[in-house]
Amino acid sequence: MYKRLFLICFITVCCFAVKAQDADTSAVKPAIDSTTIKEDAKKSPAFVPKITKERKYNPDSTHSPRKAVMHSLMIPGWGQVYNKKWWKVPVIYTGLGLLGAAIVFNQKNYNETLAIAKYRQRGIQPSPGDRYYDKYQLYAENNVSDAYINNAVDLYRRNRDLSILGVLGAWGIQMIDAYVDAKFIHSYTMDNDLSFKISPGLIDQPMYAGSFNGPYIPGIKVTFAF
């Protein structure tokens, strides 16, 4: 009787012990929320590399750089008209007009001061009615020295020569501009794929501008992409 009761109790205790050792599957495998998966998918889309369009060399056989240069050599701005850069023509003629006015101004004053300097070197005075009589009298009334007049002669001559060189330089620049436009602008496909990026950076200071704070100073870097 007692043996059977003891055996039943022993079997019952063993069953409870085995059940207590079973793993809690609800704690190990939590439920997966489908809304969380959808939000994560929206936050991290698949990476797709950007396809950049390369510029291609498409020469225009009907547009001649040599013709553009020859046009600008004969008449300033003609090459720009040939390249359909109409807005450059007023700029060219404004510059040439100012330089031309400087040549006329300095040449006129150079002739006057040179004539007065020659009068003083010879020790004579122009007669009333002569071309430079009024100018000579004005200098005499204001006690202008011979050295001042000689310096004025050199100044007006130098400015006149520089203005002439400026005209030649402007003429050559507009020829080069016509060639560049005809050679390159009309030879490449132009697109609007322009962008820029602003990012912080560090600037390396020169040795003489260094401080105790360090050899670098904060700055801003701007990168343009064409």
DSSP assignment, residue 208?
G
Note the pLDDT of residue 48: 60
- Please give the single-letter amino acid code of residue 16: F
What is the CB neighbour count within 10 angstroms for residue 167? 17
Q: What is the pLDDT along the chain (226 residues), one digit of tens a residue?
A: 555 665 666 666 555 555 545 445 444 455 555 555 555 555 555 556 666 655 555 555 578 899 999 999 999 999 999 999 999 999 999 999 999 999 999 999 999 999 999 999 988 888 888 888 888 898 888 888 989 999 999 999 999 999 999 999 999 999 999 999 998 876 655 555 556 677 777 776 665 555 555 666 676 677 766 5
- Could you give the CA distance from residue 179 to residue 14 in angstroms, rounded to a whole number? 102
Q: Decide: 139 and 119 in contact? Cβ < 8 Å.
A: no
Place of tokens 């404004």: 94
- Could you give the CA distance from residue 181 to residue 83 in angstroms, rounded to a whole number? 7
Terminal Cα distance for the chain, rounded? 100
Does residue 203 sit in helix, strand or coil?
A: strand
Q: Is 217 left (phi over 0), alpha (psi -120 to 50) or beta?
A: beta
- Could you give the CA distance from residue 199 to residue 205 in angstroms, rounded to a whole number? 19
- Could you give the CA distance from residue 28 to residue 22 in angstroms, rounded to a whole number? 12
CA angle 210, 214, 216 (to 5 degrees): 80
Domain range summary for the chain, segments of one domain joined by +: 65-188
| pTM as predicted | 0.56
Q: Decide: 159 and 85 in contact? Cβ < 8 Å.
A: no
Alpha helices (H) along 46-145: 65-74, 78-82, 88-122, 133-141
Q: Is 72 left (phi over 0), alpha (psi -120 to 50) or beta?
A: alpha
Please name the residues in contact with 122: beta carbons below 8 A apart, sequence gap of 6 or more: none
